[in-house]
Every structure is written in structure tokens, then in C-alpha cells.
Homo-oligomer: A and B are copies of this chain.
Amino acid sequence: MSILIKNTNILTMVENTIVKGNILVEDNLITRIGEFDFEADEIIDGSNFITMPGIVNAHTHIAMSLLRNYADDLPFWPWLTEKIWPAEANLNEESVYWGSMLSIAEMIASGTTTFCDMYFFTEETIKAVKETGIRANLSRGLVSGEEEGEKLQNAINLHNEFHLKDEGRIRIDLGPHAPYTCSDDYLKKIAGEAGKRDTNIHIHLSESKKEIEDSIEKNGNTPIEHVNSLGLFDHPTIAAHCVNVNDDDIQILADKKVNVVNNPSSNLKLANGFAPVNEMMKKGINVALGTDGPSSNNNQDMFEEMHLAALVNKVISNDTTVLPAYEVLKMATVNGAKALRVDNIVGTLEVGKHADIILVDIHNPHMYPHHDLIASLVYSASSSDVDTVIVDGKILYQNKKFLTIDIETVYKKAQKASERLTGDKNEI
């Protein structure tokens, strides 16, 4: 199977420029980029599109789509303890499957080709990933308490069974939820298991101010100092949030080459604060971008996150030159791939890489006139400009239609599953 994207505007994310040309995909790989002729099985006219690497959503909890717009504008603790946790207590295999399918549809339609997830009933999310054709790093959420051993064993089993299977589209990471929900012993045990398997650790760190205060009171140090003292950062780590960090924290993250995931919508909506992205980048930290779960966002729109990251970091730095458009696009592609340790196969458009490619429409009112199209992707574009999505050489979405998802069934099943969790009956 070969796909030729013809006469398109190519943003490889290797260089800060857009050039006219063709891209050839053969089987699951990019085999040519430039000016050439080829008789491909499928030809896509790319002239009205920017053709760029698929977006990497580096932190989310996709099955939480079922709780989207269920409980908003509430104080954080009542939201979590009176609304989200009681609803989550009703989760089962079926709900996680349909919640995953709904989110994967949303992600594909908005240009995300790889996501990094932490949640429960991970087998169901794996099933949805396999069926839809998207790429994912998945980790089963691990918290201390009853059955913590069984949970870790489940995570290890998932790793043994699914890691790097399906042409490498699925990676299994280990997901200790956070230092405030995992005991020190548990964190050390998880770190040890990650080390044995050379897989990533995916964890929440320094999200809320309360988390920092509690950590200092309990441990005498910050969450980042604390998990570092436990040896967690001796293994490749994906650290979501890192909002409330001090200079010492940033130095540790830099020294230990921790990958940070910025989630601006969630951090703002939950009033947790502004992550010092520019300060972290200046120290050489790899900062990726994520949406966080769709119940604290409330979507999985990475174009919105790019826009927000660019704007927020300018105003908090009091400097309009901070986080220019190309740097933000790197967060959402190259840096995400690096954080997830899939940058050897995706994150840029290069000959030999796996074909994770999106086509973004530039033929609409908000994208005209055409000046700096790289700026237009961050400052003007909307995720609805995504027209075509290819993952691992397979077209998943074309002319804004799903090719691997029966979307009407997903709507119905997700609505029903959501009503079972919340007890709310849809009146609309």
C-alpha cells in the first residue's frame, strides 16, 4: 500500500520552515519527501493543506470523557470527592471501552496521532487503540492501599503482553499516580520494576499548591525532591504538570532529564497555577504538551493547548517573544515523542520514520491571508482544520470522516455508559 500526498505545504518539524513538495508513504513508513513522481495506490491533493507530523498528547486520562461537562465550576475538593470519585466508583470494562473510543475519535479528528494515558481497565483502552489504529503509551494507574500488589502485577502483565506489540503502536509504561497517593515503598518498588523492563514511569507531580504544602509538612521536602530521593528519576520519567515548582525543583528535573508535560487548560481551569514552561526550557528540560483528562479541560484539543501555552507563557514572562510558534509546535510533536520515547519512529516527517501525518486545512477564513503559516498553526488555527489523519501508514480520517470508527454507535454507547456512571439522565 502506498499513499502520495501531492503538492503540499510540508512542515517536517526538523526545520523551522514550510516547503512545497510531495510525501510518499509506503506501508507504514515515509519513504520520500520532495519533488518526484510516483504511481501510488492512493493520491491525496495536499495543495490546500499544511502537512505535518501528527500531534502527541503527552498526558491524559481518555476514558474520563464520560465525565465531561458533568460537574463544572465547583470548588476542587467537592468536584473530586462528591462528583468524580463517586462516578468513577461505577466504572467497569464497558464504560472504559466506550469512553476510550469516544476520546480516540475526538483525538483523531483534532490531529492527535499519539497519546499518553493513565487510567483503569487498561485492557479496554488497549482494545480501543488496536481497533482504531491510533498510537499510545498506556499505563495502569497505581495507588497505594488494598491490592496495591495486584495492581502492580496487572501493570507488569500488561507490559509483558502488549508492550511494543501491534507494529510498535502500543507502549506500556508504569503509572504511579502521584507521591501523595503512593507510599515511598510502593514508589520504590514501581521504579525497580520500570528499571528491570527499561520502560517509562508516568506520574503526576507538583500540580496543586496543597500538594507542595502537604509534602513539605509530611516529608520536609517538595514532591520533586521527594521522589528524586527515592530514586524514581533514575528511570525515564514523564512528569505531568510540574506547575508549582521552585528553582531547586527545576534544577533536579533538568539534571535527571525528566520529561515534563504542560497541561495549560487543566492547570488554569482547576486554578492550580501557571507552570514556568519558559524557565524549565531555558534549563534544557524537555517540555511536552497535554490536555489532561477531558473532565478537567473539557476537551482533548491540542490546538487549543498550543494556543494557550503560547499566550500564557508570554504574559507570565512579560515578554511577547517567549514561546514563539515553532517552539510550541515542537512541544506538541517532537518533544512529546521524545517524552514518550517514540521519537525514534515518530514526531517529525523524515524518510524512514513511521508515517504519522496530519493535513491541516489552510483554505478557510481564519487562515487567510497566507503569511507565516507556522504562526497560523498556533495563533489562528482550530483543531477542526484537521482534514486527514494517517497513523503508521494507515488513513484513519479523511475529508473529516472517520474510516476506522463507527461514530454514531460510539455516541450512543458513550452517552449510555456515562449515564450509568453519573445517574444523570440526558434530557436532550
Given contacts A271-B314, A365-B106, A415-B369, contact A69 B376 (CB under 8 A): yes
Question: Which residues of the partner chain B approach A66 to less than 8 Å between Cβ atoms?
Answer: 369
Q: Judge whether A186 is part of the interface by a CB distance below 8 angstroms.
A: no
Cα distance A411–B48 when bound, in Å?
12
Cβ < 8 Å to B, chain A residues 261-284:
265, 267-274
Cα distance A105–B426 when bound, in Å?
35
Cα distance A324–B380 when bound, in Å?
25
The residue in A294, A298, A317 that gathers the most chain B C-beta atoms within 10 A of its C-beta is A298
Q: Judge whether A407 is part of the interface by a CB distance below 8 angstroms.
A: yes
Cβ < 8 Å to B, chain A residues 298-355:
298-301, 304, 307-308, 310-312, 314-315, 317-321, 324-325
Given contacts A75-B320, A370-B428, A371-B422, contact A379 B271 (CB under 8 A): no
- Find out whether the CB atom of B419 lies under 8 angstroms from the CB atom of A369: yes
Copies in the complex: 2
Write the nearest CB–CB distance from A2 to chain B, whole angstroms. 25
Residue in B294, B315, B417 whose beta carbon sits within 8 Å of that of A271 in the complex: B315
Question: Which residues of the partner chain B approach A65 to less than 8 Å between Cβ atoms?
Answer: 368-369
Given contacts A314-B269, A314-B271, A315-B272, contact A75 B366 (CB under 8 A): no
- Find out whether the CB atom of B407 lies under 8 angstroms from the CB atom of A369: no
Interface residues on A, range: 35 or more
Cα distance A417–B370 when bound, in Å?
12
Question: Which residues of the partner chain B approach A406 to less than 8 Å between Cβ atoms?
Answer: none
Q: Judge whether A85 is part of the interface by a CB distance below 8 angstroms.
A: no
Residue in B267, B376, B428 whose beta carbon sits within 8 Å of that of A315 in the complex: B267
Write the nearest CB–CB distance from A257 to chain B, whole angstroms. 27
Cβ < 8 Å to B, chain A residues 77-133:
79, 102-103, 105-106, 109-110
- Find out whether the CB atom of B68 lies under 8 angstroms from the CB atom of A271: no
Cα distance A300–B274 when bound, in Å?
25
Could you list which residues of chain A lie within 8 angstroms of chain B, going by C-beta atoms?
A: 9, 18, 20, 65-66, 68-70, 72-76, 79, 102-103, 105-106, 109-110, 265, 267-274, 294, 297-301, 304, 307-308, 310-312, 314-315, 317-321, 324-325, 362-366, 368-373, 375-376, 379-380, 382-385, 407, 410-411, 414-415, 417-419, 422, 424, 426-428
